[in-house]
Structure 1
Amino acid sequence: MAAQSKKAFALRLDPALYAAIERLAATELRSANAEIEMLLREALGRRGVSVKPSEAPKRGRPPREEN
């Protein structure tokens, strides 16, 4: 079974804006990408758009199949 993938696309940002996102991400112990995703979700929520979080991929070994 393939793991869920995220949509990849190019995003051009002002360098000062990206630097601010990186600083915020560092204080939240997130990557800049995860911080941008959180900021977008928060902004959408304030506008009344609900986005359900995607189901997280399962980690670890799959359960042993009984024969």
Structure 2
Amino acid sequence: MKIVNAYAAQGIGLRQLYVYVPEDNAASISMVRHAGFEEVGILQSWIKTGKEYHNVVLLQKIY
């Protein structure tokens, strides 16, 4: 995450990044939050696995 953050902010000059993480993936959500991202919403029924749809957490980091 540190390399991606540095490249996004300094290497290519992005203003912000978004990350979509399945709502039930607590480890990934924790890692992304630790990298400085903030939760900005939940997308309902956003991804499909098999026959079921699942929510994702939308996290954002503004540089």
Question: What interval of TM-score do these two structures reach, taking the shorter chain for normalisation?
Answer: under 0.3
TM-score scaled to structure 1, two decimals?
Answer: 0.24
Larger RCO: 1 or 2 (CA < 8 Å, sep 6+): 2
TM-score scaled to structure 2, two decimals?
Answer: 0.25
- Which of structures 1 and 2 has the bigger CA Rg? 1
